[in-house]
Structure 1
């Protein structure tokens, strides 16, 4: 689905392991891989300065990525000094990357408030899609499992859809990238409309299901017109739980989600479906950030 990939790692999230799997990323359609690690400014003493020793150490850890690079793929390493939220947008612009891979541990809302998150902060300052992987999983995959994961990162996407503004924005962004996808990348997607059982009980369930099915069939036809194999389903229940059940049942590669605008509405402490997926899902999450 994407061809130019920026992989950001702090060396504690497991993503540095991907330096050994460049060939597998290429098999999934990636043509350029940039590995990025940000070294904090050394602030011991009176004058802050660049910590060259840590920069050299980081570059050495990336050395495997530069060995035996497959033909037709470009691999680069960037080890800037400073904060990730400052460096990542600059590197994105330099290489024109079309997706960012980051690690994001599962945390409660309270933990997020206390510790913060580079991934969530990044979503506020860039419109580039962000693929968030759970360090707990990436670190424990065997080499064989990780090789397959790298090949199938975007093979089968789950797209939650309810015809709301965020869902329509997600669909339009998804369609844009689908039309530019490599031949050996995205193959199929799953459209899922979950009717929240806790809402709008005054409307008969049969009517809501029928209305959702009709709208979902229209979206399905649009995506099939782009050469995708598309499954579509309407379910009733808790949106998050139903989406996770479907992701397991249909062997989904990643769950796509989005917000519709930046500013106050991009508030990670506010209750929303996207927040719940980002914080709780063990599945990789492909987040389409609102346009600048």
Structure 2
């Protein structure tokens, strides 16, 4: 689906390991990779005088991991100082990245409020899709497992859909990605409609299951026209629980999610299913900003 990735690592998230799997990432459709490490410093100096090793050590560490780089893929290492979110946004624009990789641990609302979150800030400000990987998993994958993960991350997506504008916007963005990339590796999509058991039946119409079936049948035909294998699932229950369970059962590569508005996916004042997926899913999450 994507060709130009900005892969960010702080060396505690496991994402630096992806530098060892450039051939696998190339097999997943990438043509350009930028590996980025941000050095945070205090004080007025952007680069403290007499301390060039603060930049050179992480640069050499990333360079040493790059092995067997194919001739037809462009690989760059960037190490900068400053606020991580600002550096990432700047580099994404500079290198024309069409996706950003981040390692983000699962968090509760309270933990995010207390400790902050680069992922939360980027989800608000980035115009580029973001892939969120869990450090606890990336760090424990064997070499063989991570090699397969890199090659197959975007081959099978779970797409939660419930007929709302947010769901329609997500499908629109997926269509655009496939159409704009003639070498897209996306092969299969599973559309999941969860009928929320907490919503009163009167608000869901006379026959919500039939309504969902009819709408998903039309979407299935539309996506199949893009040479995608499309499966549909309709279940009733708690949306977050059903989404995570479906991802587990069907061997999903990543869960796709989308902001439903232009300014508030991670705001505290209103509940958000997308926000909960971003915070809590152990599966990789492909997040499309509004």
TM-score range, shorter chain: over 0.9
Please state how far the C-alpha of 1:205 moved relative to its aligned partner: 8.2
Please state how far the C-alpha of 1:67 moved relative to its aligned partner: 3.9
Note closer, same or farther for the CA distance 1:272–1:131 as it changes in structure 2 (3 Å cut): same
Residue number in structure 1 paired with 2:147: 147
Please state how far the C-alpha of 1:231 moved relative to its aligned partner: 0.3
- 1:99-178 to structure 2, matched below 5 A, reads 99-178=99-178
CA–CA separation in structure 2 for the residues paired with 1:278 and 1:191: 18
Contact 2:123–2:265 (CA under 8 A) maintained in structure 1: no
SS at match of 1:190: strand
- 1:251-262 to structure 2, matched below 5 A, reads 251-262=251-262
Please state how far the C-alpha of 1:266 moved relative to its aligned partner: 4.7
Contact 1:27–1:184 (CA under 8 A) maintained in structure 2: no
Please state how far the C-alpha of 1:65 moved relative to its aligned partner: 4.7
Please state how far the C-alpha of 1:190 moved relative to its aligned partner: 0.3
Residue number in structure 1 paired with 2:45: 48
CA–CA separation in structure 2 for the residues paired with 1:101 and 1:265: 19
2:248 matches 1:248: yes
CA–CA separation in structure 1 for the residues paired with 2:174 and 2:204: 32
TM-score normalised by the chain length of structure 1: 0.94
Residue number in structure 2 paired with 1:10: 10
SS at match of 2:248: helix
2:219 matches 1:219: yes
Note closer, same or farther for the CA distance 1:69–1:109 as it changes in structure 2 (3 Å cut): same
CA–CA separation in structure 1 for the residues paired with 2:204 and 2:69: 58
Please state how far the C-alpha of 1:183 moved relative to its aligned partner: 3.7
TM superposition outliers: structure 1 runs of 4+ over 4 Å: 203-206
Residue number in structure 1 paired with 2:274: 274
Note closer, same or farther for the CA distance 1:181–1:250 as it changes in structure 2 (3 Å cut): farther
CA–CA separation in structure 2 for the residues paired with 1:184 and 1:98: 13
Contact 2:265–2:272 (CA under 8 A) maintained in structure 1: no
Contact 1:166–1:260 (CA under 8 A) maintained in structure 2: yes
Contact 2:189–2:229 (CA under 8 A) maintained in structure 1: yes
Please tell me the root mean square deviation across aligned C-alpha atoms, in Å: 1.7
TM-score normalised by the chain length of structure 2: 0.94
Contact 1:65–1:75 (CA under 8 A) maintained in structure 2: no
> Is the deviation greater in 160-169 or in 173-182?
173-182
CA–CA separation in structure 2 for the residues paired with 1:116 and 1:204: 37
Please state how far the C-alpha of 1:206 moved relative to its aligned partner: 7.1
Aligned length: 287
Structure 2, unaligned runs of 5 or more = none
CA–CA separation in structure 2 for the residues paired with 1:180 and 1:199: 38
Note closer, same or farther for the CA distance 1:40–1:265 as it changes in structure 2 (3 Å cut): closer
Residue number in structure 2 paired with 1:202: 202
CA–CA separation in structure 2 for the residues paired with 1:106 and 1:145: 21
> Is the deviation greater in 73-82 or in 63-72?
63-72
Please state how far the C-alpha of 1:264 moved relative to its aligned partner: 4.1
CA–CA separation in structure 1 for the residues paired with 2:85 and 2:204: 47
Note closer, same or farther for the CA distance 1:152–1:193 as it changes in structure 2 (3 Å cut): same
Please state how far the C-alpha of 1:248 moved relative to its aligned partner: 1.2
CA–CA separation in structure 1 for the residues paired with 2:265 and 2:141: 36
